[in-house]
Every structure is written in C-alpha cells, then in structure tokens.
Structure 1
Amino acid sequence: MIIESVIGNVATVEKRAPHVERVYLVSDDLVKRIQRVVTDHGNEIGIRLKENRELIDGDILYMDEKNMIVISVKEDDLLTIMPTSIQQMGEIAHQLGNRHLPAQFEENEMLVQYDYLVEELLQQLSIPYKRENRRVKQAFRHIGHRHD
C-alpha cells in the first residue's frame, strides 16, 4: 500500500474506524515526505506524500469502515525548561538561539532535545529544568542560518 495523502487527524475527525493500526515514528521522521514504514501489526506501508507537509501525531494515513492506520510519535529524550522569570527566559532563549537549537513551547515550558552541553548551561544559569522522555506533536525543525 502506498499512501499519498493524509486523510485527517484523530483529534479533529468525527467518524473513526473501530480498529486502529499504528505507525510509530521518531519525531525526526515526521518531516520525511517519502519513507517506508511498518505498522504495529507488521504491515509494510510506503508513504509518498504529494502535498508539501509534515506528518503530526494522530494523522490518519488510511481509513475504511473497519480499519484505520494512524501516526503515533515515539517519545524523545528532552530537556523541559521552566524559566521562573522573563529574565531567565530571555537568557536561555538567547543562548539556544546562538546555537541554532530548535525548541518547542507547551504552556510555560520550553522543550529541546537532550544535549549535555545545554544541561550544563541550564545548571550554570540556575534555570529550572528536568530531563524526561516525552512525546512531541511535531518534529523539531532545524533552521539553516549562516553568520556572515
């Protein structure tokens, strides 16, 4: 089976099939438009998305009256940063920006993929954080940039 488009997302569709097969992806694979995957039931699927979009957690790749195939994102090793002031947020955002490290935000937390140098920096700046395995909804996007 080759999937060329996403049908919808389980968070927004009203009609769902009773049986769900899952394709487990690491967050880095969400940006790949062409890939070969295997469901948790052992079925091999080719993904070749026509539209230029990233996959997100809960995307429905296939659905009929009885079955659906859904994307599930595996947990990432993350640093969850919890600044206590705008000063701390500014300091860590500036430092991470200088390193071109991608970040995501959920409520009052900044999420970055684990890096021991960032962990040392957080300790030096006395910024509260925790290291945890956690699912993210979308891929961490690396943004290309040059210093001239």
Structure 2
Amino acid sequence: MTGALPVAQDVAPPGGADDTVTLSYDDRFLRRKRLVSDGGLAFVVDLAKTTSVEAGECFVLADGRKVAVAAADENLLEVRGDLPRLAWHVGNRHTPCQIEADRLLIQRDHVIRDMLNRLGAEVAEIVAPFSPEGGAYGHGRTHAHEHGHTTHHGHSHDH
C-alpha cells in the first residue's frame, strides 16, 4: 500500500454516505482509531476529542467522502414489563439503555438481569443492534465505566 491512510477529523449528520463501517456501542466511543469500512476502505479517525458517534452519523474523510456508522449486532437483554418502573431502575444503575415503546434493550449483565427478574420483568437474551439513549443535556454518554458490579460508583449526587 502506498501513501498514508485517509483521515476523518469530523463527524457529520446522517446522509450522503459513500460507504459504511459497522461498530459496536463501545467501539462508537472514540477519538483516534484505525478502522476498516464494510467495503474494505482502511482509514484513520482522528477527532479533536473523544466522541460518542451515533448510528447513522458519518465520518468525513479529508477528500470529502463519507463513511456512515452502522450499529453492530450485540449480545443484549430485551426487557419487557412495567417499562417506566424498570427504566427508572436501569437508569439508576447508570446502565446504557435503548428505550422503545414496548421494550428496553440493555447490554447483557448478570447483575442487572438478576435485579430486573426480582422486579418482575420479562427478560430475554437477544442479538441486535444497540443504540441507547444519549445523556441528558446533549452531552452524549453519561458514564464511561465498566458495568456488572453493584458497588457505589463514587459519584456525588445532589438530590
């Protein structure tokens, strides 16, 4: 291969893509990374700051080409039941959650699953794309820590 890889230094709204790159939820939180598009194009993402890129948004290459981001299939829990109550408990655990009219989708986590079962939820393991809600106030992700534990996170909250 000759020359440097194309570089994307910006993210644009959906539309006008020349190719796609399929990434998991965790992989869509990035600043600098080498990626290969679904069509085989290798490129480097070099953003000014760590960014949560949403499915549908596009990396804009220096030559103007756009590579749309697609959400990869992931191992998830599909949650059904009293959704407002269950969503409150999921949110209280700072767990990324995709909220739909008839279900919640979260990443597989045995601790959260146990809590949901105790709350009377119907929980099923599925494989599907994952695009959880962004954080409040338009700031993307609210927490960037590991999941699957029940210890206090050390955050101070004013109630």
- Per the normalisation by structure 2, the TM-score is 0.66
Q: 1:47 aligns with which of 39, 45, 62?
A: 45
Question: Could you say which residue in structure 1 is the equivalent of 2:11?
Answer: 6
Aligned residues: 136
Instruction: Specify the code of the residue in structure 2 equivalent to 1:7.
Output: A
8 Å CA contact 2:97–2:105 kept in 1: the answer is yes
**1:61 and 2:59 aligned:** yes
Residue of structure 1 equivalent to 2:32: 34
Misfit runs of 4+, over 6 Å: none
Q: Kindly indicate whether residue 154 of structure 2 is the aligned counterpart of residue 146 of structure 1.
A: yes
Unpaired runs of 5+ residues, structure 2, are 1-5, 135-140, 146-152
Supply the distance in 2 between the matched residues of 1:93 and 1:139 (Cα, whole angstroms).
Answer: 13
AA aligned to 1:135 is P
Match of 1:13 in 2: none
CA deviation map 1:35-77 (0-9, x unaligned) = 11001222211001236642111122248xxx64211110121
The answer on whether the counterparts of 1:79 and 1:132 sit within 8 Å (CA) in structure 2 is yes
Q: Which amino acid aligns with 1:9?
A: P
Query: Are 1:123 and 2:117 an aligned pair?
Result: yes
Contact preservation (8 Å) 2:21, 2:36? yes
- Identity percentage over the alignment? 23
Q: Shift of residue 137 of structure 1?
A: 2.6
- Are residues 61 and 85 of structure 1, via their aligned partners in 2, closer, same or farther at CA, if it must alter by over 3 Å? closer
Equivalent residue number for residue 72 of structure 2: 74
Partner amino acid for 2:10? S
Q: Which has the higher contact order (CA 8 A, sep 6+)?
A: 1
SS in 1 for 2:104: strand
TM-score, length of structure 1 as denominator length: 0.71
Q: Is structure 2 residue 134 aligned with structure 1 residue 136? A: no
* Separation in 1, partners of 2:28, 2:14: 14
The two structures, once aligned, show a CA RMSD in angstroms of 3.2
Match of 2:3 in 1: none
The question of whether the paired residues in 2 share the 8 Å contact of 1:38 and 1:45 is answered with yes
